């Protein structure tokens, strides 16, 4: 019904039966805008959006989610993944038309501004499927460090299977998924120790460790000092630098 309504508004519309087919369709012939359902077979809308936003060919295409999921958390999830809008069903056709028109106009303006800034039309970027899978997985990991992620969880969330994800990750990063996850958790821990006054227990919870002791052990193995000592060293260095600047204006 929506396809027919959009065509009556003089839009050229292509359809796909599931997220996987839609993603491949968008790669083969990138559209100006994508209307994406959330609940679909094979590859759901959230997983399809992760792949679209991880691929340089499709990253800039605006994605509007259409879904019967009315929970605010689902709407926020769609926007966090890179969707520009989220329309809940049942919807009024006039509302969909207005949102489509607005986001097409915005995308057109952005492309024009980018072309002017570059001085010439940008070449279509190249991509490798393994790089797209790895990039989508890396973003997912970065956004969910506090969760107990498994390889199956990550693979399912980006619409692939565990062996393919492992191979793609090694090809793209030269390391395993869990080695990367461990590095990211320690890096986030270092950042939180530096930039916040959160306790070690709170940081452990934010970075996916079962306890402050587990975080401290992993941190010490990677950084060669405890989290408390690391924070103390940073603050001592900052105080010394500040004193030196006062002494030498």
Give the separation between CA 101 and CA 181, rounded to whole angstroms. Answer: 40
**What contacts 201, CB < 8 A, 6 or more positions away?**
211, 212
Angle (deg, nearest 10), helices 129-143 and 45-54: 110
Place of tokens 């080695």: 179
pLDDT of residue 113: 72
pLDDT of residue 112: 74
Q: CA triplet 48, 51, 53: central angle to 5 degrees?
A: 110
Give the separation between CA 142 and CA 146, rounded to whole angstroms. Answer: 9
- Catalogue the long-range contacts made by 227-236 (C-beta closer than 8 Å, 24 or more residues apart): 227/189, 227/193, 227/200, 227/203, 228/200, 230/190, 230/193, 231/193, 231/194, 234/193, 234/194
Domains in the chain, ordered, with CATH? 2-118 (3.40.50.2300), 129-243 (1.10.10.60)
Q: Which two tokens stand for residue 249?
A: 């204006």
| Lateral strand order in the sheet of 85-88 | 34-37, 63-67, 85-88
pLDDT of residue 206: 93
Q: Which two tokens stand for residue 171?
A: 């090809």
pLDDT of residue 58: 92
Give the separation between CA 220 and CA 51, rounded to whole angstroms. Answer: 35
DSSP 8-state symbol, 43: S
DSSP 8-state symbol, 70: -
Angle (deg, nearest 10), helices 72-80 and 45-54: 20
Which pLDDT tens digits describe the chain residue by residue (249 residues)?
889 989 998 999 999 989 999 999 999 899 999 999 998 888 899 999 999 999 999 999 999 998 887 678 888 889 999 999 999 888 888 889 999 999 999 988 887 776 666 665 555 555 678 889 999 999 999 989 999 889 999 999 998 999 999 999 998 888 999 999 999 999 999 999 999 999 999 999 999 999 999 999 999 999 999 999 999 998 888 777 665 565 555
**What contacts 24, CB < 8 A, 6 or more positions away?**
none
Indicate the SS3 state at residue 198.
coil
């Amino acid at each position: 019904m929506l396809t027919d309504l959009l065509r009556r508004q003089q839009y050229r519309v292509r359809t796909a039966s599931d997220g996987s087919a839609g993603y491949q369709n968008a790669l083969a012939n990138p559209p100006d805008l994508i209307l994406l359902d959330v609940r679909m077979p094979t590859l759901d809308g959230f997983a399809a959006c992760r792949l679209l936003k991880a691929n340089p060919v499709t990253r800039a295409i605006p994605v509007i989610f259409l879904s019967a999921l009315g929970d605010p958390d689902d709407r926020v999830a769609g926007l966090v993944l890179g969707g520009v809008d989220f329309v809940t069903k049942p919807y009024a056709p006039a509302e969909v038309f207005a949102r489509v028109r607005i986001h097409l106009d915005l995308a057109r303006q952005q492309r024009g501004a980018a072309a002017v800034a570059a001085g010439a039309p940008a070449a279509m970027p190249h991509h490798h499927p393994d790089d797209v899978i790895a990039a989508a997985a890396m973003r997912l990991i970065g956004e969910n460090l506090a969760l107990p992620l498994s390889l199956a969880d990550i693979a399912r969330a980006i619409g692939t299977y565990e062996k393919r994800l492992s191979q793609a990750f090694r090809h793209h990063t030269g390391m395993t998924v869990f080695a990367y996850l461990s590095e990211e958790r320690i890096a986030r821990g270092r950042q939180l120790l530096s930039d916040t006054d959160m306790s070690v227990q709170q940081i452990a919870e934010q970075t996916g460790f079962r306890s402050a002791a587990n975080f401290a052990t992993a941190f010490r193995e990677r950084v060669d000092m405890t989290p408390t000592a690391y924070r103390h060293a940073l603050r001592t260095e900052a105080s010394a630098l500040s004193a030196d600047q006062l002494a030498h204006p």
